[in-house]
Structure 1
Amino acid sequence: MESFDDIYLDLSKQPGKCRLAESGLGWKPSGGQTFTLDKSEMITAQWSRAARGYELKVIARNQGVIQLDGFRQDDFDTVQKCFKVWYAVELVHKEHALRGWNWGKTEMGRNELTFNVRNQPAFEIPYTEISNTNLAGKNEVAVEFSLPADGEETGTNGHLGGARSKGRKMGGAVDQLTEMRFYIPGTETRKGRKKDQEDGADEEDEGEEEDANAANVFYETLMDKAEIGEVAGDTFATFLDILHLTPRGRFDIDLYEKSFRLRGKTYDYKISYDNAKRFFVLPKPDDVHSLLCIGLDPPLRQGQTRYPFIVMQFKRDEEVNIELNMTDDALQTKYAGKLQPRYEAPIGTVIARIFHGLTGKKLFQPSPLFVSHHQQSGVKCSIKANEGHLYCLDRAFLFVPKPATYISFENVAVITMSRVGGAVSASRTFDITVALRNGAGEHQFSNINREEQNPLEEFFKAKGLKTKNEMDEDSRMMAAALSADPDLAR
């Protein structure tokens, strides 16, 4: 047995002891669980200079890329001998490109994407760390990396950082790379599908070759290699061409066991159910549409833009008839009472119910205590120049679609109702300013119809929210001014 101290596994925060034995290798941190890798799992091994000294990188059959960093230069001969004699695996010494060039050639291996500069790797990205990829332009591909939901959610031991946390390795670091973009110009020749060979050997022609956009080829290959979307297994249900107000566009929705996927013409998103924190079913005040809002943490990212909410819009009278792609056994054991084998109802209701069944999370609806002047659940208003609707829920306010704003009643210090400006429209509309506790800022909802004042005031009172009505003060001052001048009073 050979033992090495101060070795870091998969970018872990804390070091551990690495041991090589005839049966395989192991890594044990102080106060954590042991990681082991059987010798039958090992395919290839690589030795290279890394952040904390020298890194031993092992490609395993089932566990993908395993990185062990912190070896000394003198350890190479010992490690190489162990791998050759015990594991029958050659330890390859690989030099990284240190030129600092940002152009090179990508190579997609079995477990990772390698960026080579002059046939030397500049960096490697394990596919497990890639959460999504999008065509950001005609020749540009954006690659997004997995983010931990919070600082602790980085593996079996939070204090260890990224150790044993495939897909969240980098979460243990102070700073984390979240997105990388590749500019890939030109076209690439690729073979089409082969013809059916049932008619004999004459049809053995190679598939027709076609020129395709190089960025598209890279994108499709990476989607396939990183198993984005497909990793979730078979789709339980698919809904085509669903209108989304945030992010704007039409997306196909694929629902899997542990995640769902939005497929658009330009962008694809894969979202874990763990990241979907809240679901809201909201009737739109036009009596025609309904909204399904999904609160995400961490938010969905599209370049520099973050979307903390997904907002879908459906027609209330658009019915759908769908049968879930799920075995009777799974329905009865895993989702007993949560999902039905078949749904026939308005499409928005069906999608919401399936989400509820798969995630087990509650579907929030507007509070029955609030009914607007027009017998609706939402009130039309604006945040700055963006028009939308404010919904009063049992424990929070929600403004949709853009910018989607969620305000919990627990965080509300005071609500001020005021009339802005001296124009004629000021008498028809008013504003609400929601000040948050502990000086955390405020939210202003403007251009609310004056008829909604009483229903809103009654709701605030029912919920015990502190309110301040500046409009009544203005009205009293106006009445006092009128009564002081007999001519005006008439």
Structure 2
Amino acid sequence: WRDSEGCCVLASRRHCWLVMSAPDSHQFGNIQLSGKDQQRDENSGTLKVHAGGFGWKSRKTGNIISVQKADLRGVEWLKIPHAYQLKLRVKGGFVYKFNGFRSQDKDTIKMYCKDTFEADMEDVHMSYKGWNWGEGSIEGQNIVFKVEKRLALEIPLSEVTQATAVKNEAVIEMADDDTAMPDDEVLVEMRLHVPAPTGEEAADMDGTAAENFVNQIKEGGDLEKAGLALASFEDVPIQVPRGRYEVEMFDKFMKLHGKTFDYKVMYSNVSALYLLPKPDGYHMALCITLEHALRQGQTQYPHVILQLPKDTPLEVTINLEEDEIQERFGEKLSQIEAGDMPSVIAKVFSAFTKRKVIALKKDGFNGGSKAEDDRATSIRCSVKANEGQLYPLDKCFFFIANKPMVVDFDKVGSVEFNRVQSNTSSARTFDITVHMKDGTGVNQFVNLQRNVYKELYRFLTEKKIRIKNVAANSNFGDADGDDDDEVNDPYMERMKREREQADMAEDDDDDDEDEVWPSS
């Protein structure tokens, strides 16, 4: 029988033997799930090997990866820098890698796998010669490159976004890591020179050796990652980065093909979509705000601005079956979408990125009688040397220019009006300075037309944004003396009441006509 501690007890009349039973499982702490983002806290956890297989649990999130005994196809042990790696090959060609083991853990895992899983753990030796020639192949769900039959590198097919053949080269492109910092080095492309075969092998081969290798990648990986776009738009004018691009929509990312540069945008990297009218009355700006900026050399693009003509009709077909479209997107997308270009592209982008398209509100800035006029929905101004349009939206300022910028209202500490004092009442423009709560600095917008002052003041007051210096002349903003453009400005109303009270006290209309009241 077993006692309360799980020990086997064998008894007879004269003797009693205490026999310790073998452990049912082994547990290893501080084990990292290997991958390009293995440095994250959520990828550190505990690995447990038990009679049913392997199980890994994240210490931070509690996520579990389970490998059942019946699905196990191979167990490998590798030496990596500063530690050891356990590689599990499972049914379907998938591979799980776990880092952080010690050298003394090898015998424990090897013996347990042999006794429990009837599987021999294989020692795999890496190649450290640094040669750039060897043998490339597709093994399961991985691209494997070996030097003298030793593993040099391994790339999961799930990370491959595109594979093409250019003469004798196989060009393999990987999805950019949207969590990488600007100074991080990320593998985004690899070119393999595949020599042309000779003799009988060349006679039996269709196409070049590079094309055959690329076809193997396409057969082993997902179709959408191998080059089949789910939707595409040709010759799309883009303001930032400037040029005309072919836009291809894949399952997890979109790709912008330009004459000079190509860009990949992961849907998980899109934080917001805006559809805003341009002041020319002809274009709409579809703005894609990114959590991590696109990079081209030293230039970063935190926003992608599409400039789409309103009157251009567009029809696009989604390359999926109707039932699959219904399962993925619900009622948000149909197999064939038709309409004007801004509406169609915005709808498709919203469905793929799972982000709501933000547009102007009727009760927002200049939301009254001027709401139908595209020129009244934005303010022409400049940030340093960049001239553009400032859009006061429901939750932020969006400045569209060659260097776009977003200022969230929840991060704004105060707004300061400049050049609106009484001695500048004849000025045609004014400036505003936006002070941030976290003290990261200020954003200054200059040369705003004076006829938008009252509406901007009303808008900021309605949003409960603190005005740092309410120093404005009572007549500022009356550019043409047109009472129809007046807005109920609390500060202006107070100034008028004070002036009327002063008029009544002094009872001298002639003097009051030339009087200039100091700002408070």
Q: TM-score, normalised by structure 1?
A: 0.69
8 Å contact from structure 1 (residues 253, 263) kept in 2? yes
- Aligned ranges for residues 365-444 of structure 1 at < 5 Å? 365-368=359-362, 369-371=364-366, 375-419=375-419, 427-444=427-444
8 Å contact from structure 1 (residues 112, 124) kept in 2? yes
Alignment-mate amino acid for residue 55 of structure 2: G
Given the superposition, is the C-alpha separation of residues 302 and 106 from structure 1 closer, same or farther in structure 2, using an over 3 Å criterion? farther
1:392-411: CA deviation from partner (whole Å, max 9, x where unpaired): 11221101243221112222
Q: What is the number of equivalent residue pairs in this alignment?
A: 427
Determine which structure has greater relative contact order: mean sequence separation of CA pairs < 8 Å that are 6+ residues apart, divided by chain length: 1
Larger displacement relative to structure 2 (236-245 or 319-328): 319-328
Q: Which residue number corresponds to residue 94 of structure 2?
A: 64
Report the alpha carbon displacement of residue 291 of structure 1 after superposing the two structures with TM: 0.9
Candidates 275, 279, 290, aligned match of 1:296: 290
Candidates 84, 95, 118, aligned match of 2:125: 95
8 Å contact from structure 1 (residues 104, 118) kept in 2? no
Given the superposition, is the C-alpha separation of residues 14 and 326 from structure 1 closer, same or farther in structure 2, using an over 3 Å criterion? closer
Distance 1:268 1:382 in 2: 28
Per the alignment, in what secondary structure is the counterpart of residue 99 of structure 2? strand
Per the alignment, in what secondary structure is the counterpart of residue 5 of structure 1? strand
1:16-59: CA deviation from partner (whole Å, max 9, x where unpaired): 243154x6433457794653323453444432223563222123
Report the alpha carbon displacement of residue 319 of structure 1 after superposing the two structures with TM: 0.6
Gaps of 5+ in 1: 149-170, 192-203, 476-482, 485-490
Given the superposition, is the C-alpha separation of residues 175 and 258 from structure 1 closer, same or farther in structure 2, using an over 3 Å criterion? closer
Alignment-mate amino acid for residue 10 of structure 1: L
Q: Which residue number corresponds to residue 287 of structure 1?
A: 281
Report the alpha carbon displacement of residue 270 of structure 1 after superposing the two structures with TM: 4.3
User: What is the RMSD computed on CA atoms of the aligned residues?
Assistant: 4.8
Q: Which residue number corresponds to residue 504 of structure 2?
A: none
8 Å contact from structure 2 (residues 272, 290) kept in 1? yes
8 Å contact from structure 2 (residues 346, 357) kept in 1? yes
8 Å contact from structure 1 (residues 321, 345) kept in 2? yes
- Aligned ranges for residues 320-359 of structure 1 at < 5 Å? 320-330=314-324, 335-359=329-353
Distance 1:457 1:188 in 2: 66
Q: Which residue number corresponds to residue 146 of structure 1?
A: 177
Which structure has the larger Rg over C-alpha atoms?
A: 2
Gaps of 5+ in 2: 1-23, 35-41, 198-202, 477-513, 516-520
Alignment-mate amino acid for residue 96 of structure 1: M
Alignment-mate amino acid for residue 5 of structure 1: F
Distance 2:303 2:182 in 1: 25
Q: Which residue number corresponds to residue 271 of structure 1?
A: 266
Distance 1:473 1:222 in 2: 75
- Determine what percentage of the aligned residue pairs are the same residue: 25
- Aligned ranges for residues 27-176 of structure 1 at < 5 Å? 27=56, 32=62, 35-51=65-81, 53-62=83-92, 64-77=94-107, 79-80=109-110, 91-97=121-127, 107=136, 109-110=138-139, 111-112=141-142, 120-121=150-151, 124-128=154-158, 146-147=177-178
Distance 1:122 1:210 in 2: 21
8 Å contact from structure 1 (residues 392, 398) kept in 2? yes
Report the alpha carbon displacement of residue 290 of structure 1 after superposing the two structures with TM: 0.8
Q: TM-score, normalised by structure 2?
A: 0.65
Alignment-mate amino acid for residue 26 of structure 1: G
8 Å contact from structure 2 (residues 159, 174) kept in 1? no
Report the alpha carbon displacement of residue 233 of structure 1 after superposing the two structures with TM: 10
Q: Which residue number corresponds to residue 312 of structure 1?
A: 306
Distance 1:280 1:34 in 2: 37
Q: Which residue number corresponds to residue 3 of structure 1?
A: 26
Distance 1:189 1:96 in 2: 24
Report the alpha carbon displacement of residue 366 of structure 1 after superposing the two structures with TM: 2.5
1:26 and 2:55 correspond: yes
